[in-house]
Amino acid sequence: MIKANFHQHSLFSDGKNHPEDYVLQAIRLGFTAIGFTEHSPLPFSTYYALPQRRENEYVNEIDRLKSKYAAEIKIYRALEQDFIPGITENFSTVSNRMNLDYSIGSVHLVAPSHGDELWFIDGPERRLYDEGLHALFNGNIREAVSRFFFQTNEMIEKEAFDVLGHMDKIKMHNANRFFTVEESWYQDLVMQTLELVKAHRLIVEINTRGIYKKRSDSYFPDHLTLRQIKEMNIPVLISSDAHMPEELNLGFAEVQQHLIDFGFTSTMTFDEGKWKEQPLIG
């Protein structure tokens, strides 16, 4: 059984609780490690990112918890870094400044080929996805989805990070309305990204949040992509992307069984500053 979670948000970004509440819950669950991955600071205001002015407070608070609970659990300070070309800060600059243990790289805001407006593909509101698709891409779903994957590819090529976060989040609000993941143009985009993941030796996150929030009928990434990942022998990390302590291990038992059924034999875990393989046991 997986006894760690390396993707979670506290009230330093858009999570509901104080970091210490997650630590206490993780200890109750018998976890050996947890990593905090607040959304990285952005140069404009959002409801979800860690505000730049609170960076030091975040760093100090995680340090305090690391020492307070050192005998019970390993605690890591990380970020889910957002990549928007020409807008977000270089990942390594942020990692060094905040002395991070690791980084997840994710795309939540897609930049169209022209104009300054961004397409928010995440969050609870499907309306924003639909409005952006129409206003910024003339309703052309293929172009819009391609931009999401091109931006992901650019992030992989330009930035330093460890784990690719929810690599097909673009499918969440689509909800099988404008395209299906079986379409060949979509599969080609996924394959190009996976080739880059492999070349850059990244870990792909298997994120259970879409399932337990009932926003998606499959994990991020979907089952077809999971098969590809297995085929290509790309390492995976199971995470819940928790936004409250009760979500720390949601979906873990099911996803482990799914991965075993797909033929995976191990997942990754972070320990003593390094990513390591651990055997997958049901």
Which residues sit at the interface with Zn ion, rule CB under 5 A? 80, 106, 241
- Give the shortest CB-2-to-Zn ion separation in angstroms: 17
Nearest distance, CB of residue 168 and Zn ion, angstroms: 12
Instruction: Report d(CA 9, CA 19) in Å as an integer.
Output: 8
Q: How far is the CB of 234 from Zn ion (least distance, A)?
A: 19
Least Å distance between CB 14 and Zn ion? 8
Q: Which tokens hold the place of 50?
A: 């860690």
d(CA 6, CA 104): 9
Q: Measuring CA to CA, which residue among 102, 129, 132, 158 is closest to residue 216?
A: 129
DSSP state of 168: T
* Minimum CB distance to Zn ion smaller for 50 or for 144: 50
**Is 162 or 241 the residue whose CB approaches Zn ion more closely?**
241
Query: How many CB atoms sit inside 10 A of residue 253's CB?
Result: 12
Tell me, what amino acid is at 199? A
Rounded Cα–Cα distance for residues 246 and 5 (Å): 12
